[in-house]
Amino acid sequence: MSKNIVIIGTGYVGLVTGACFAKVGNTITFVDIDKEKIDMINKGVVPFYEPGLDNLLSSYRGKINATVDYKVIKDNDITFVCVGTPSKDDGSIDLIHVKQAVENIGGILKEINRWHHVVIKSTVLPGTTEKILLPILEKKSGKNATMDFGLSMNPEFLREGTAVYDFLNADRIVIGANDERSADELVNLYKSFSLKIFKTSITTAEMIKYASNAFLATKISFVNEIGNMCKKLGIDAYEVADGMGLDKRIGRAFLDSGIGWGGSCFPKDLDALISWAKMIGEEHRIISSVVEVNKRQPLKMIDLLKKHVPNLNGKTIGVLGLAFKPNTDDIRGSRAVPVVNQLLKEKAVVKAFDPKAMENFKKMFLQIKYCSSAEEALDSDAVLVLTKWEEFKKLDFTGKIVIDGRRLLEAKKTARIYEGVCW
Ligand code: UDX
């Protein structure tokens, strides 16, 4: 049966979740404090770049609304909390948005006389939903969880750039609930997608999210460490990964070596996990090393560059790609940040191009030149490939020195000098 759903937070997780639920017949109301974003969504415009999302929003516009007013919760059955949980300066998780959202929801629950279901989708550390968010909801509403309202935890595993595909084709849906009514309601809601469902407790669901992200980041840092050895030995880390990946216990996914991981999730989630482990007095050696390897990995690009251009002072370096990965305009945690910082430190002249992320990068780096095409960035003393955008494959690198951080093998065919970071 279709439901009336409120989605709090219109980042890529909230919008994709809402749009996909609308696709299977539910009615969606997005709530965000950002009026500008709300106006855009009401016009069918996606406030950021996420492939397929604009199509979905416009196709199901009749089922979608957006507002800044939490009161809409009154007329709905389920509220998903999809607001961000960024890092504080010390790496610990900042719950300010999630707490605010839950306080507002609690205030509305006080005014309604029927059961309403609150689902936490924001990434929060194990124990947060039960120990911090539930008490806020109960205090603000004057009601009891389970009896008067449902509460569950439903982590997301959406990759930016393929978030719509990932939602519709997820490997699993994790449903963390401590009461049957909440669990059953979420199981029914997800039924239309025919995906594998894993039911567990709220705290376990929270941990599954962190453990999954930490493990994926570990795979990448591990393969980068192996990749650095491969480079020294003159062997190809991708061939090694292919050979390893055939072992079902290992799997080939997330064994692409390069300049490391970035994004809106891995960096903040690993920092939060480390900070939390410290707080509860637990060891975090592996996770800390994973982060450490990732900090050093992008600077391998500079070492390789200096093999061919020993003094960067006054040299023009073309940077291809600024987004943390292709198909997104997101530069959070992008490996381009430490690379560009180091180039500037060594007094190089940086000419950068990215098909989507230049506006965001400008907010951090005003002092570099932004090119109007990839070809323009190629007109440099050396070129660094930092993001594997499809369109870079068609470039002509004839006569160029190319340092490749993302395995754009097409560049190897034409470059005068080609260095892959781990191959
Ligand atoms: C990630 C998780 O995959 C997703 O499940 C979670 O919910 C949010 O965080 P995302 O940050 O969008 O998604 O990107 P992802 O595709 O996982 O890539 C993360 C980073 O790792 C990127 O910088 C990417 O370039 C890098 N990466 C990925 C590698 O260097 N090698 C790989 O083999 C895979």
Other beta carbons less than 10 A from residue 403's beta carbon: 29
Q: What is the pLDDT of residue 305?
A: 98
Do the two domains 4-200 and 202-423 of this chain adopt the same fold?
yes
Task: Strand 197-200: give its sheet, edge to edge.
Answer: 64-67, 27-31, 4-8, 78-81, 116-120, 149-153, 173-177, 197-200
**R_g of the chain, CA atoms, integer Å:** 23
- Check if the beta carbon of residue 394 is closer than 8 Å to that of residue 413: no
Question: What is the Å distance from ligand 1's center to 72 Cα?
Answer: 35
Question: What is the Å distance from ligand 1's center to 106 Cα?
Answer: 34
Q: Please provide the CATH number assigned to the domain covering 4-200.
A: 3.40.50.720
Residue bearing the CA closest to ligand 1, atom 7: 157
Average pLDDT over residues 351-373: 97
Q: What is the pLDDT of residue 136?
A: 98
As separate numbers, helices (DSSP H) first and strands (DSSP E) second, the chain gives: 17, 14
**Closest by CA position to 228, among listed 295, 288, 293:** 293
208 Cβ inside 6 Å of ligand 1: no
Average pLDDT over residues 353-364: 97
Atom nearest to 260 CA in ligand 1: 30
Q: What is the pLDDT of residue 65?
A: 97
325 Cβ inside 6 Å of ligand 1: yes
Question: What is the Å distance from ligand 1's center to 261 Cα?
Answer: 6
- 21-30: per-residue pLDDT in tens? 999 999 999 9
- 128-144: per-residue pLDDT in tens? 999 999 999 999 999 99
Q: What is the pLDDT of residue 279?
A: 94
256 Cβ inside 6 Å of ligand 1: yes
Question: What is the Å distance from ligand 1's center to 159 Cα?
Answer: 6
Residue 158 gets the label, from left (phi > 0), alpha (psi -120 to 50) or beta, of: beta
Per-residue CA distances from 135 to 94, 141, 182 (Å) = 18, 10, 17
254 Cβ inside 6 Å of ligand 1: yes
Atom nearest to 335 CA in ligand 1: 23
Average pLDDT over residues 194-216: 98
Question: What is the Å distance from ligand 1's center to 325 Cα?
Answer: 8
Q: What are phi and psi of 196, to 5 degrees?
A: -70, 130
What confidence tier does 327 reach under pLDDT thresholds 50, 70, 90? very high
Question: What is the Å distance from ligand 1's center to 330 Cα?
Answer: 12
Ordered by start, the domain boundaries in the chain are: 4-200, 202-423
Q: Given a cut of 90, is residue 89 above it in pLDDT?
A: yes
Query: Residue 67: what residue type?
Result: T
252 Cβ inside 6 Å of ligand 1: no
Tell me the average pLDDT of the chain. 97
Q: What is the pLDDT of residue 49?
A: 87
For domain 202-423, the question of CATH label 3.40.50.1220 is answered with: no
Average pLDDT over residues 366-375: 97
What confidence tier does 1 reach under pLDDT thresholds 50, 70, 90? confident
- 266-325: per-residue pLDDT in tens? 999 999 999 999 999 999 999 999 999 999 999 999 999 999 999 999 999 999 999 999
- 143-161: per-residue pLDDT in tens? 999 999 999 999 999 999 9
Residue bearing the CA closest to ligand 1, atom 3: 159
**6 Cβ partners below 8 Å, 6+ apart?**
28, 29, 30, 31, 72, 73, 76, 78, 79, 80
Annotated catalytic residue 371: no
219 Cβ inside 6 Å of ligand 1: no
262 Cβ inside 6 Å of ligand 1: yes
* CA angle, 266 then 267 then 268, to 5°: 95
Atom nearest to 213 CA in ligand 1: 2
Per-residue CA distances from 48 to 16, 238, 361 (Å) = 12, 32, 14
**Closest by CA position to 26, among listed 192, 170, 173, 152:** 192
